[in-house]
Amino acid sequence: MTQRTLEGRIAVVTGATSGIGRATALALARMGAHVVIVSRSPQKCAETAAQIVQAGGSATPIAADLSSQRGVRSVAEQIRARFPRVDVLVNNAGAIFGERRLSEDGIEMTWALNHLSYFLLTHLLLDALKAAPTARIVNVSSDAHFAVRRIPFDDLNFERQPYRAFSAYSLSKLANVMFTYALARRLEGTHITVNALHPGAVATNFGRELGGWWGWVFRVLVSRFALSPEQGAQTSIYLASAPEVAQQSGLYFDRCKPKRSSPLSYNRDAQERLWAISAEQVQLAG
Ligand SMILES: NC(=O)c1ccc[n+]([C@@H]2O[C@H](COP(=O)([O-])OP(=O)(O)OC[C@H]3O[C@@H](n4cnc5c(N)ncnc54)[C@H](OP(=O)(O)O)[C@@H]3O)[C@@H](O)[C@H]2O)c1
């Protein structure tokens, strides 16, 4: 039987209507957390929340397009209006895009959704996280970040370099790790921890829209080797709830264990440069 170790806690999970995020939300609800289901489809958010309630848990659906800064701000506003605090924030919503697309804010879509939504939502919920007795931020990244050899600081929007889905994706996942390290430094001495993770290769809806060679490779790999969403959610659930990681912060995890991320991810100057660019892109001061 699942222990209800999160009884009375409020956990926000983005991308909670499918795959790893959905499995994470269901597990946290089974542990007693009130789970805020954040995703883009109002219907899927309502269905996931209803499933949790039917199983004896409690949940609130909040729908918004997280690739849009207006969407992220609206989610944060609704959370702050409804809840006195947030104990757990799992930044998980993400995708890979076959073609270069721009978000509503004119930002390359992978960067906007996979990185800037984590960055902005976390900032907008910091006061709510500070209001909790202890709080955890969990950033779902990927070992795909190891593929980045150089950060194209002068062309994060893929305007001059040719757009490649995997390059844009791995860059956004590197940004998740570097954001985690830079935020952990800023949160030192507080009761808020922040960690990043690789969930493994997981059979979800991820990559469904990829065509061509990458789409084929992806589908073959997923069908042969992938973990189930429940298996893929284990490290997210562990970081969001396990007592043994209550004090751990600024680490990268895989299969519920810390491991080294890419050498580039530890470059502090690059982390700070990314932080400054991200803050400017989402119009946050400092
Ligand atoms: N699957 C893997 O092998 C793998 C490996 C490494 C890392 N990851 C990471 O794991 C995380 C979860 O991915 P997954 O594999 O579970 O994929 P998934 O099944 O496609 O789930 C992605 C979730 O994000 C939501 N979402 C997508 N675009 C959105 C938007 N614009 N606004 C709000 N929500 C949006 C989706 O909503 P809908 O339900 O409406 O689609 C869904 O709930 C991602 O950050 C991904 O990078 C996955």
CB-hemisphere CA count at 13 Å for 24?
A: 35
| pTM, rounded to two decimals | 0.97
Q: Which of 169, 181, 238, 252 is an active site residue?
A: 169
DSSP element (H, E) containing 35 = strand 34-39
What digits encode the pLDDT tens for the residues 137-165?
Answer: 999 999 999 999 999 999 999 999 999 99
Map residue 183 onto helix, strand or coil: helix
Please list every protein residue whose CB sits less than 6 Å from any atom of ligand 1: 15-21, 39-41, 44, 65-67, 92-95, 113, 140, 142, 199, 201-202, 204-206
* pLDDT tens per residue across span 47-87: 999 999 999 999 999 999 999 999 999 999 999 999 999 99
CATH of 10-279, one of 3.20.20.140, 3.40.50.720, 3.30.230.10, 3.90.1150.10: 3.40.50.720
Q: How remote is the CA of residue 27 from the centroid of ligand 1, in Å?
A: 17
Structure tokens at 107: 């930002």
Each residue of 196-212: pLDDT tens digit?
999 999 989 888 778 77
Supply the pLDDT for residue 232: 97
Sheet holding 10-14, edge to edge: 58-63, 34-39, 10-14, 88-91, 135-140, 192-198, 252-254, 257-258
Q: Among residues 59, 42, 55, 48, which one has the least CA distance to residue 17?
A: 48
Report the distance separating Cα 77 and Cα 71, nearest Å: 10
- CA neighbours within 13 Å on the CB side: how many for 181? 23
Runs of H (alpha helix) within the chain = 19-30, 42-54, 69-82, 109-110, 117-130, 165-187, 212-225, 229-232, 234-241, 268-281
Tokens of 121: 């939502």
- CA 189 – ligand 1 centroid, Å: 32
Q: How far apart are CA 7 and CA 29, in angstroms?
A: 9
Domain boundaries, the chain: 10-279
Within a 10 A sphere around the Cβ of 47, how many other Cβ atoms? 14
C-alpha of residue 241 to centroid of ligand 1, in Å: 21
Closest-CA residue to 95 (of 178, 41, 166, 9): 166
